[in-house]
Amino acid sequence: MPLNAQDLLITPMAPLPMPISNNAVVEGWKNGVAQVYSFGGIDSTKLFSGITLSSFRYDTQNDSWDTIAPLPDTRGKIAVAASNVQNKIYITGGYYVFANGNEISSDKVHIYDPETNAYLPDGASIPLAIDDHVQVVWRDSLIYLITGWSNTNNRNVVQIYNPALDEWYAGTSVPNTNAYKAFGASGMIRGDSIFYFGGAKSGNNFPVSNNLRIGIIDTLDPTQITWMDTVIAAPLVGYRMAATLIEHDLYWIGGSDETYNYDGIAYAGGGVEPNNRVLSVDPVTFSYGIDTSSVQAIPMDLRGIARVNAHVFYLAGGMEANQKVSNKCLRIRYENLFSIKEHRPILTGGVYPNPVNNALMLGKDFSGQVQLFSEKGEKVMECYLAKGEPMQLGGLAAGLYLLHTKDGQSRIVKR
């Protein structure tokens, strides 16, 4: 079963320097400190003239934003995507909007180095200019650009970029049908499998998609992909959602249930509202969980999420209710590892001593699996304890740790 969306703790952080939407959001590290980056997008005017190259950086340690150099292009663009590979950020595609209403897809690959806070020379041009595409990274080595819009229509192409060689390869195309081709879809790679969901299909007013597509990558030749699709639930759709992995499950966060133009107005007419939804999907059974009631407002018009570790993520910008362009930065934390939650009476005798130096007792009757996490959500120890057996902690650095235990009946998390 998928994780409980109610285990996500969403916290507002320092706001961006300006409201921005349809901006590429991605993580990076400078001197070992996690940073969140925003590239391009549209400002609060929601006009073509408000489409920008402006870029920003958030320091997670100091909870502060600063403005970095704009994207090195000739005019502003939206629907860009960004990925981090070996701590270089690759900002690809997007589209330009002109005063006469023309829209042209971009073939640019901008490269940004978080350590030097500088752009490197552009990478090799994308073979087919693309925007509003799905972008995922395989094994911290290859970047997959999947479907998306190119100038006049949705395309079924899979374009694979190798940053180490600055080369492009043609991947196995998705089937040339509306079930697969989309703009504004989003997804991730889990293991060697691609998952992408939702988006806008071709057709009258660009109907929103309810398809979940799965691509199995051939590890001996990663250009070869076996494609299939399913429907999680017929009414379940999504457009411009943030997508990420949490534990073993697939998560789509925020977005909308209608398709719309860059100004937030539906292709069918009328303003579009965020769905304020967290969707989690089990990638094996495709069972799913939805939370729309206990989460605070989550924007739509999202083009990425910054994943700073396995359990902490950031959203930046987007559109709020009434298509208001947002300057909010939201930290999303899988709080099951960070909250003190008791799912049954406290362990007999408690957890002691606390603070601890070398050996920790988990009550006189406990036996089961135990995991220890750092405050950053990194697992530092895992073991099975027999009844009455202490957990040996000698050799760990001093600090605050989070104990996650499971005895077959319940989960307990303690600091």
The rounded percent of the chain whose pLDDT value lies above 70 is: 90
Q: Of the residues 317, 337, 357, which one is the last residue of a structural domain?
A: 337
In a shared domain, residues 370 and 306: no
The whole-number average pLDDT for the span 46-67 is 98
In a shared domain, residues 83 and 183: yes
In a shared domain, residues 269 and 390: no
In a shared domain, residues 308 and 242: yes
Query: Of 83, 137, 133, whose CA–CA distance to 112 is shortest?
Result: 83
In a shared domain, residues 364 and 240: no
Give the CATH number for residue 370.
2.60.40
How confident is the prediction for the chain on average, in pLDDT?
A: 90
End-to-end C-alpha distance for the chain, whole angstroms: 26
In a shared domain, residues 280 and 351: no
Instruction: Express each pLDDT in 122-171 by its tens digit.
Output: 999 999 999 999 999 999 999 999 999 999 999 999 999 999 999 999 99
3-class DSSP assignment, residue 144: strand
In a shared domain, residues 275 and 135: yes
The domain in which residue 359 lies consists of 341-414
Instruction: Express each pLDDT in 282-316 by its tens digit.
Output: 999 999 998 875 556 899 999 999 999 989 999 99
In a shared domain, residues 327 and 381: no
In a shared domain, residues 299 and 246: yes
How far is 51 from 253, CA to CA, in rounded Å? 24
In a shared domain, residues 331 and 346: no
In a shared domain, residues 283 and 353: no
How far is 133 from 114, CA to CA, in rounded Å? 24
- For 276, other C-beta atoms within 10 Å of its C-beta total 19
Query: Of 23, 33, 24, whose CA–CA distance to 115 is shortest?
Result: 33
In a shared domain, residues 242 and 351: no
How far is 311 from 341, CA to CA, in rounded Å? 17
Q: Of the residues 288, 322, 337, which one is the last residue of a structural domain?
A: 337
Which strands form 351-352's sheet, in the order they lie side by side?
351-352, 359-362, 391-392
How far is 106 from 128, CA to CA, in rounded Å? 9
Query: Of 4, 10, 6, 3, whose CA–CA distance to 313 is shortest?
Result: 10
How far is 39 from 118, CA to CA, in rounded Å? 13
Split into its structural domains, the chain has a count of: 2
Query: Of 78, 10, 65, 13, whose CA–CA distance to 37 is shortest?
Result: 65
pTM of model > 0.85: no
Residue 369 has pLDDT above 50, yes or no: yes
3-class DSSP assignment, residue 238: coil
Q: Of the residues 337, 352, 373, which one is the last residue of a structural domain?
A: 337
